[in-house]
Structure 1
Amino acid sequence: MAQTWAVLAALLFLLINLVEGPAYNMVSVEAGHEAVLSCPYVSKVSLLMVTWKMKCSACCLLAYRSDHNETRKLNCSERMMWKYSPSSDPALRIYPVNLGDEGNYTCEIASSAGNFLFFSSLTVIVPPTVTLTCDERRVVVCQASAGKPAADISWIPASNHSTMEEVHHPNGTVTRVSYTGWVNSTLPTVTCLVTHPATNQTLSLDLSYTSPRLPYLLIGGSASVAAVSGVTLCLIFRCRAFRLRKSARGLAVPFATKNFRSTPSHEKTDAVKPPALSESIYQNYNPRMIYMGY
């Protein structure tokens, strides 16, 4: 009879384990916020030890022993700690959480009733950086950079000519870029809608201020400025050349006048001329007016 009850108890224990299995918890937290991983515990059962482990070779191990009232940390950063007192609620707190904390965690409880395992999966969400731009060809670009998971991009009004590009980064984030042409559209405003678990953003762009003729106007303005500058410089150099030629002519006349001397006769050597008459002769001298008579 005793053996029958033992076999029934073993079968019942096996059936409970097959039906219930270990507890499993999934937690999603935005980067920079607080992550709390719970470890269910019935306070009526005497607790001997609780241990938190992250599934990797050199990751954090956080343990508590009730008989020594002692806690230990191994390879754990200051961001990982007990949320409450481990003797009453051995929940794990991570603050602020980052992408490196993502993964699977195990909470193991040893008590007078036996050993219990609880599994948690932590997922870190990163909101993307959203931008909306337009080039000179009226191609509108909506970009959701470094998001995790990848953001969804849609257009208002809907466009059938949009294209999508996706770039995966080593840290697990994804950048998505959507292009759409708005050349033949009569609507002055285009709207980009970005949907993400961490944030939903709507950006609008007024296309009436983006004209494809703007580059040509800029080029025409630059050419006009260059032409005016060239004409101005040409006039300046021409005026300077004219002044230099005029100055050279003005200097040449006094030079020839002062160096000109007629050979006086011996009869008139001793004659003294009035100073005013001598100066007037040199001032009114012009080589072209000399008449040589024989």
Structure 2
Amino acid sequence: MIGPLLILCIWGYTLSADVTVVGRRGNFTVLQCGEDPGGEIVGVIWKIHHMNNSRCLFSYGAHMRGGPQIYNNCSTRMTFTNRTLTIHNTQISDGGNFTCELSSTGGTFFYTTILQVLAQPSVSLDINSDGSPECRAIGGFPAAEISWIPSSDDINTTEMEALDDTWTVISTYKSDRDMVVTCLVSHPTFVNVWSQSIVSPVETKWELIWSLVGFAIFLFIALCIVYWNQKKIRTCSKKSLNTSPPQQVDGIAEETQEFEPYATYTQRENVVYWGTLKVTRLN
């Protein structure tokens, strides 16, 4: 290893230690190709090895036929100015190793920059459809870390990677006791640990049950009142129907009583007539 280093020094090559740059998804990121060499820059070559194992090349030649020329088979979101490589609208896939070869009148220099792109997750804590506290960290890179207070052996945590290289972490807390639980989310983009508390599902279920029982009692009482009122209305209607016709019946009864003496007299007269007739025939 000592031999190659001596040869590089004799030929005018200078190596530098790795530098780490942290960028944010959606922002612009600036990478410097080492320090000012103190002479005229002849050319710069960026050799980029992305985190997804893709490779590309970005080069700048100052003294070329027709003037300075730039070659770029990387993303069009990358621009070059002097010794600076700028990545616009930085994405997670832009992360990786950026090796810069700088040639100047003072020599040739090599610099390596490690780019790490972070994405802040969206965090929430709710009761899921099963009635359990569920803590979510969506769209983060790297994946967020979720923990609970109090700790439990019955915690289910899953991690899912999206097409844009971000991660979604879902952690579900299950408990059979009445308690308050707190979700803690850690991520490099957070200055402090995110935390939020929620009531355990046991208490929530009992509140729901008592609410349903109270509603059922109220509905039963309301139906009983409606039924009792309807029964009372029917009874009153029947009484009114039975008491109104008797006036007409009394009138008919009076006419019947007035007509009965005449009918009785006629019947008696006929009896006398038939009796007289029978006596005449015997004689």
TM band (smaller chain): 0.5 to 0.7
Tell me the residue number matched to 1:141. 134
Residue 39 (structure 1) aligns with: 33
Q: Structure 1 pair 247/27, CA: closer, same or farther in 2 (3 Å)? A: same
Deviates more, 1:93-102 or 1:284-293: 284-293
- How big is each residue's C-alpha offset from its partner over 1:225-275, in whole Å with a ceiling of 9 and x where there is no partner? 331332244245435545654665577678xx4xx9xxxxxxxxxxxxxxx
**Does the 8 A contact of 1:167 with 1:175 survive in 2?**
yes
Runs of 5+ consecutive residues of structure 1 not aligned to the other structure: 1-8, 261-283
- Give the 3-state SS of the residue equivalent to 1:285 in structure 2: helix
| Residue 22 of structure 1, CA deviation | 7.6
1:151-171 Cα shifts (integer Å, max 9, x gaps): 222223433443322222222
Q: Report how far residue 133 of structure 1 moved.
A: 3.3
Compute the TM-score of the two structures, normalised by the length of structure 1.
Answer: 0.63
Q: Conserved in 1, the CA contact under 8 Å of 2:146 and 2:184?
A: yes
- 1:270 aligns to what? none
2: distance between equivalents of 1:202 and 1:102? 26
Q: Which residue of 1 aligns with 2:267?
A: none
Q: TM-score, normalised by structure 2?
A: 0.65
1:220 CA drift (Å):
0.7
Q: Which has the higher helix share?
A: 2
Quick one: structure 1 residues 76 and 139, their matched pair in 2 at CA, closer, same or farther if it must change by over 3 Å?
A: closer
1:195 aligns with 2:186: yes
How far has the Cα of 1:217 moved from its partner?
0.9
Paired residue secondary structure (2:251): coil
What's the offset of the Cα at 1:98?
Answer: 2.7
The aligned runs of 1:1-294 (5 Å cut-off) are 12-13=6-7, 24-52=18-46, 54-55=48-49, 61=58, 63=60, 65=62, 68=67, 76-77=75-76, 80-82=78-80, 85-86=81-82, 90-112=83-105, 116-134=109-127, 139-184=132-177, 189-199=180-190, 200-205=192-197, 207=199, 210-239=203-232, 241-242=234-235, 245=238, 257=248, 285=251, 287=253, 290-291=256-257, 293=260, 294=264
Note closer, same or farther for the CA distance 1:202–1:106 as it changes in structure 2 (3 Å cut): closer
Alignment-mate amino acid for residue 139 of structure 2: A
Partners in 1 of 2:212 and 2:60 — Cα distance?
A: 71
How many angstroms does 1:37 deviate by? 1.4
CA distance in 1, matches of 2:62, 2:26: 31
Please give the secondary structure, in 2, of the residue aligned with 1:121. strand
- Cα RMSD after superposing both structures: 4.4
* Matched-pair contact (CA < 8 Å) for 2:60–2:70: yes
Unaligned runs of 5+ in 2: 265-283
Which range is displaced more, 55-64 or 24-33?
55-64
Q: Across the two proteins, how many residue pairs are aligned to each other?
A: 250
Q: State the distance in 2 between where 1:11 and 1:147 align.
A: 41
Q: Offset of 1:125 from its aligned partner?
A: 1.1
Which has the larger Rg?
2
Distance in 2, matches of 1:15 and 1:46, equals 20
Cα 1:207–1:233 shift into 2, 3 Å = same
Opposite residue 120 of structure 1, the aligned amino acid is T
